[in-house]
Amino acid sequence: MPYKDPEVARQKARERYLAKREQILANCKKYYATHKEQQKANTRKWLDAHPGKTNEYSAKWRAKHPEENRARILNYKIKQRELIFDHYGRLCACCGETRIEFLSIDHVKGGGNKHRRDAKLTNSTDLYLWIIRHGFPDDFRVLCYNCNCSLGFFGYCPHNKEPEYGIEPAC
Ligand SMILES: [Zn+2]
Ligand SMILES: [Zn+2]
């Protein structure tokens, strides 16, 4: 029976889909396994014929689901971080801090700012992606934000050296 209200029709179609979802997905999977190349070619053809369309769909989805979008981005960022610290270790090389929220990546030989500028890395996730893409080079190590900042600003960390800054002589 056709539904007059398109919103109701959409809702009913969705219910029908959800009721058979498992079966539909299994069939799709089976079909894809035997028609892989054909499917890929079809997708490519569609993408070529509709430039920018997927971006448009993504933008619409993001606008409609701001909460879920934020959660996905956060999840993605956390996953990148996990990969990085799985490789370089979960321990500040200076003070031994192990809480992952405090840890950051340090350029062992310095030049972090230049590297960020040259590779156009605007935030830590960019840096993590760069490191992953370049096969986890040995030029990086783990420092907590405190030690990393102190080394960056003052060239030393007070964990290893008497502070030279901010201490007034007692007399
Ligand atoms: Zn530290
Ligand atoms: Zn330190």
| Identity of residue 113 | N
Q: Which residues surround ligand 2, an ion (CB under 5 A)?
A: 94-95, 147, 157, 159
- Could you give the 3-state DSSP secondary structure of residue 148? helix
Q: Which of 48-52, 94-98, 144-148 has the lowest mean pLDDT?
A: 48-52
Q: So what's the pLDDT on residue 106?
A: 94
Q: Does residue 171 surpass a pLDDT of 70?
A: no
Q: Does residue 73 surpass a pLDDT of 60?
A: yes
| 138 Cα–ligand 1 center, Å | 19
Q: So what's the pLDDT on residue 152?
A: 86
Q: So what's the pLDDT on residue 140?
A: 96
Q: Does residue 93 surpass a pLDDT of 70?
A: yes
Given the structure tokens 């080079």, which residue do they identify? 137
| 127 Cα–ligand 2 center, Å | 22
pLDDT-based confidence at 170, cuts 50/70/90? low
Q: So what's the pLDDT on residue 81?
A: 92
When pLDDT is averaged across residues 107-121 and rounded to a whole number, the result is 89
| 155 Cα–ligand 1 center, Å | 14
* CA-based end-to-end distance of the chain: 93
| Identity of the highest mean pLDDT range in 7-11, 42-46, 94-98 | 94-98
Contact 51, 100 (CB under 8 A): no
- What pLDDT digit, counting tens, does each position of 131-156 carry? 999 999 999 999 999 999 999 888 88
When pLDDT is averaged across residues 39-55 and rounded to a whole number, the result is 91
Q: Does residue 128 surpass a pLDDT of 90?
A: yes
Q: Where are the domains of the chain?
A: 1-35, 66-154
91: exposed, middle or buried (C-beta count within 10 Å: 0-12, 13-18, 19+)? middle
